[in-house]
Structure 1
């Protein structure tokens, strides 16, 4: 009986492919209102009252928007956030900064302890990769809440990022 030939060890090539948008087409985020305006163009507000979503904006060093991605979709009580996915996207796009965003279906525009804990976790992870957490915005139909504007996110020199 002939012995089956074993596959030799295979190496699988991993590639990184990303094409940055044209510079002139990239919106600039100067403050939380700019971020909210950009996010409002990307998010379907017909859905924000039904379940919780989590998104990320990826930014250049000069806070130009490289891209946008939905990270999670949950239920009325919360959303599971894959932090690893946030940084996969940030590294793939060579982002220097990120803005997090999620909605509160209840309409409550205050940050919860879990919101602030997750924000701090992502900020610490970002520091390892030199990716600045610029803001975390909570949106509802009634408006938005910026954790940076309200002192919940401080950059290393203890000033707000904007």
Structure 2
């Protein structure tokens, strides 16, 4: 039995994944659709995703619910790729899947934030807010603070790294 502090019993999860994976293989041999994931697998995906969202590097995002749902969705999409012959640790396999889903969602949200900020900047709202600050300080001050905290996305969200050249490309140049 696993430690009671652990929220997913890795041995039971492995047995369940192994049984489900065999059912997938059997279904594919007779050209049937893949069987749905089991209730226990879904519970494990949910627990892993929710607990990973509480880690310090993900906890302060306002779109945490989206992170959790993206993680679960990716687990369901790629559960058939888990190989019991290669690994006996489905917990770590699905934790990595969920982590990568979180990183993709954060990148997507940062791009959206960048577009929102550029739209606000180009619409001229900032000039109107600066003029109206004296009129209604409390409401506009909050909005200005929000925009200033997200101002860093206006310059460049994340510059792309230049591609590394292969030895052949260096030779040809």
TM-score for the superposition, normalised by structure 1: 0.24
* Richer in strand (by share): 1
Larger radius of gyration: 2
TM-score for the superposition, normalised by structure 2: 0.23
